[in-house]
Amino acid sequence: FFLAPVKRSIHGNRLNWENEKGDAFCRGGFNCSNWELVVPKKGIYRVFLQVTWRQPECAGNELLFKVEVIVFSDTYRQDRVVLSMFDTVTCRTYLTKSLFGSKFLKLTPNSRLHVNSTFPSLITSSEHEVFFGAELTDESPQ
């Protein structure tokens, strides 16, 4: 499953994703709705995320860029951060910052993943700079 960003489609700090156009695709039973990726079956998944921010003009400010993958499952019944990346950047005349991370997670059916980010309005809409996805690596975790 691979999702590409949807420009100007942000719900608070929660990012929205395209699942059909461009390089994006949805396979293996995944569902994407309400800014969430819904897991189809129990297993171990590799979840990955890259976000790139751009600001054409900035000076003197220190910015904290932070992005998180959050899961809600029937087991925990509350949002839980499962992957986060952050970096503090001193702003100069032009700013570009990318963060990438991935993690293996045991997930249950109907677990819902979403992404929160600081400065969502600065995130690019380029599919090779911003993407989110998951792939099943083992169907029978112990």
pTM flag (> 0.75): yes
Which pLDDT score is estimated for 61? 77
d(C-alpha 125, C-alpha 139), whole Å:
33
Average pLDDT, integer, range 15-41? 74
Q: Residue 113 is part of a domain; what is its CATH number?
A: 2.60.120.40
Q: Report residue 29 as tokens.
A: 């039973």
Give the up-direction half-sphere exposure of residue 75: CA atoms within 13 A in the CB hemisphere: 10
d(C-alpha 35, C-alpha 105), whole Å:
20
Among 5-14, 58-67, 69-78, 130-139, the range scoring the smallest mean pLDDT is: 5-14
Which pLDDT score is estimated for 57? 77
How many domains does the structure of the chain reveal?
Answer: 1
Instruction: Tell me the residue range of the domain where 99 lies.
Output: 2-138
